[in-house]
Amino acid sequence: MSQNQKINKTEACPDCSRPLSQCICGKVASFPTKTRVLILQHPQEKLKLWNSARLANLILPNSILRVGLSWPNLKKASGIETAEPSKWAALYLKGNHKLEKPFQLFNRKEEPLEDASFLQGIIILDGSWKQAHSTWWRNPWLLRVNRIALNVNQASKRNQAKEAGLATIESIAHTLPYLNEPTSVSESLLQQYQDFIVTPNRTGRKPKPFSYSV
Ligand SMILES: [Zn+2]
């Protein structure tokens, strides 16, 4: 089953966007976080069978899921009037970064920062690498926020190669512990991803890698 497989609109739950046979409405356990999580979803991702953004959004009441291509600034994208770019960080697009540590925060000048406790929110671009790349360049305000680079040794549950990146929900799960969120939140994000998306869709055949990488 291709990871790019789309759900037919007539067969998708209007609320959770999952296939009606896999509707997760009312089944998700949610976990409050101090950290705001802003997910910018490419419109073509919304009905992808393997998309994890809506699940992450339902698990994290302090998250915001926005579907679109561009927004004029962080305040408009997040809907938070007090949002300051200097207190937010975007998860890196996959680059040539040779990262030794599992987590590294950089400021907008690419200088590494040791203390991430000042961060109020994180931004994740949800889509294929190509889509995320285009979202990045359509939203120049993203250059004004800090950046987080992840180097996760644990292979994605989607069976993709490590280099191919993580599902959105996995990226969030691997980031939150470094922002002083309880590990139970991350464990539940990964477990619910397994239960609600991976297990129902796994057919034994290795899905083709796709997705936004960090
Ligand atoms: Zn539903």
Please report, rounded to a whole number, the percentage of residues in the chain having pLDDT higher than 70.
Answer: 84
What is the C-alpha separation between 27 and 165, in angstroms, rounded?
27
Residue 213 banded pLDDT, cuts 50, 70, 90: very low
pLDDT tens digit sequence for 138-157: 999 999 999 999 877 654 56
Q: Which residues contact 33 (CB under 8 A, 6 or more apart)?
A: 60, 62, 176, 181, 185
Give residue 203 CA to ligand 1 midpoint distance, Å: 22
- Tokens representing 137 are 């360049």
CB 62 within 8 A of CB 35: yes
Q: Say whether 39 sits in a helix, a strand or coil.
A: strand
C-alpha 80 – ligand 1 centre gap (Å)? 26
pLDDT (tens digit, 9 = 90+) per residue, 12-36? 999 999 999 999 999 999 999 999 9
Q: What is the pLDDT of residues 173-192, one digit of tens each?
A: 999 999 999 999 999 999 99
User: Where do we find the tokens 């419109």?
Assistant: 43
| pLDDT above 90: residue 102 | no
pLDDT at 2: 60
Ligand 1 center to residue 87 CA distance, Å?
Answer: 33
Instruction: Tell me the per-residue pLDDT of 49-60, one tens digit each, with 9 for 90 and over.
Output: 999 999 999 999
Distance 81 CA to ligand 1 centre (A): 30
pLDDT digits (tens, 9 = 90+) for 43-99: 999 899 999 999 999 999 999 999 999 999 999 999 999 999 999 999 976 555 566
- 149 CA distance to ligand 1 middle (Å): 32
Cα of 192 vs centre of ligand 1, distance in Å, is: 15
Task: Measure 25 CA to ligand 1 centroid, in angstroms.
Answer: 4
195 is written with which tokens? 């239960």
Ligand 1 centroid from CA 136, angstroms: 29
The alpha carbon of 26 and the centre of ligand 1 are apart by a number of angstroms equal to 8
Ligand 1 centre from 23 Cα, in Å? 4
